[in-house]
Structure 1
Amino acid sequence: MSGRSHVTSHVLDATTGRPAAGVGVRLEASDAGTWRAVGAGTTDDDGRVGTLGPEQLPAGRYRVVFDTAAYFGDRPTFYAEVTIDFLIDDPAQHYHVPLLLSPFAYSTYRGS
């Protein structure tokens, strides 16, 4: 994973059929029930954020938080933020958390 975050993401805007550029994304870790920031980034022109945090993370509970209200701006949306809470159970693996986004729905899955 040289030079690449242990956790990455890719955001696609389902309403435009294009990558969602400029989405703020935070990576947080749970420490005994308290969330602490691990890293942050903004999606590029291809909707990707590859510099979200460190190259290596220990096993544990994490979440990525997408600032969807800022991305949609003046367009009506139901979700001010999208939070995806997940577990890193194998620190040797890379974790990719894609988001397919629209103003009133979203979906995600574990990518590679």
Structure 2
Amino acid sequence: MLTDKNMLTPEKFSIEGQEPFDGYYQPSDLWNGWARPYFPWETAVRIVEWTNRFSGNGTMGVDDSRKIIIDNEDPESPFEIVGKIMETTKGKQTLYAVGTGWWIWDIHPAE
């Protein structure tokens, strides 16, 4: 069983100080010093839209009917990001690991 100390906590995340996204993370679980955030569905969809705009290549997609995020960077083997039910300090939530462990997510600076 997870304790409050192990639960994912809410935070705002960004890449290189760009647009902030609300998500959750475990402060002690880092990837090469970077945050490893998880995002609710609505935020994950916004990240896909932002990524396609920012990169200009439109390689990410959303399958609303299956509630999955699709990374088509390699069109011959698309990568599907499915939601996982995770314990957060706000209760159980279905969260998506968009860019978790391969994008350089930072804690977004307080405004």
TM-score range, shorter chain: under 0.3
Q: Could you say which structure has the higher helix fraction?
A: 2
Q: TM-score, normalised by structure 1?
A: 0.27
Q: Could you say which structure has the higher strand fraction?
A: 1
Q: TM-score, normalised by structure 2?
A: 0.27
